[in-house]
Amino acid sequence: MKYFNFHTHQFTNQSDILELVNQYPKDFDEAIPYYSIGIHPWYIDENRLEIDLKIIEEKLQTQNCLAIGECGLDKRIEIPFDFQVSVFEKQLILAEKYKKPVVIHCVAAYQEVAAIKKRMNISVPMIIHGFAKNNQVAEQLIKEGFYLSFGKYLLKNPDLKTVFINVPNDRFFLETDTIEETIKEVYELASKYKKLSVKELEEVISSNIMEVFKYEL
């Protein structure tokens, strides 16, 4: 395998790509080889909460489940923020229990996510997916121990170039999330920005996979 897609909602089943496919408890697909599983803040269902957490805990104990998530906080939705925090924290407890990295969805709540990480003394890697903020936010998150994953906004927003260049090579991943563009296109742009060959970029990300997921690409 050459490419690692840190976060995608679509399994393309290509031999040269390791895809970390996002799964939801109620729609779990056994056929997907490697996945993350979690309760996205958009889809919190109070009536299903205990069932969903039980499914997540069960899957976290399998080898094919590489991470928990995406989960996190979103201030632009109607679900009460305190309830989002409660559901997020329940998932972080599971992440710590089973030593799985966390794929984080975060909208307008970076300070809160960082504060929860600190208060709960989370030791597993936490990765902000779909990062699109400025240098200041990126630097603060990295200082607080987070990893950042880039994809859609790297392709669509040229202003993100400087932010991405400044992120240390041992602290980022690349993804497609829900976009039509391929992970290979994301790698090509990222390698250009970082002034690395695609091969060198593959090696950088392989090293990060080993560090975060204890998985050898």
pTM: predicted TM-score of the whole model, two decimal places: 0.97
Compute CA 23 distance to the chain's CA centroid, rounded to the nearest angstrom.
12
Considering the chain, what is the average pLDDT of its residues? 97
Report residue 109 as tokens: 């709540």
- Whole-number pLDDT of residue 217: 65
pLDDT for residue 46: 95
Q: What is the pLDDT of residue 47?
A: 97
Does residue 33 surpass a pLDDT of 70? yes
**CATH H superfamily, domain 3-213:** Metal-dependent hydrolases (3.20.20.140)
Residue 148 has pLDDT above 80, yes or no: yes
Tens digit of each residue's pLDDT (9 = 90 or more) over 57-113? 999 999 999 999 999 999 999 999 999 999 999 999 999 999 999 999 999 999 999
Domain locations in the chain as residue ranges: 3-213
174-210 per-position pLDDT tens digit: 999 999 999 999 999 999 999 999 999 999 999 999 9
pLDDT at 215: 81
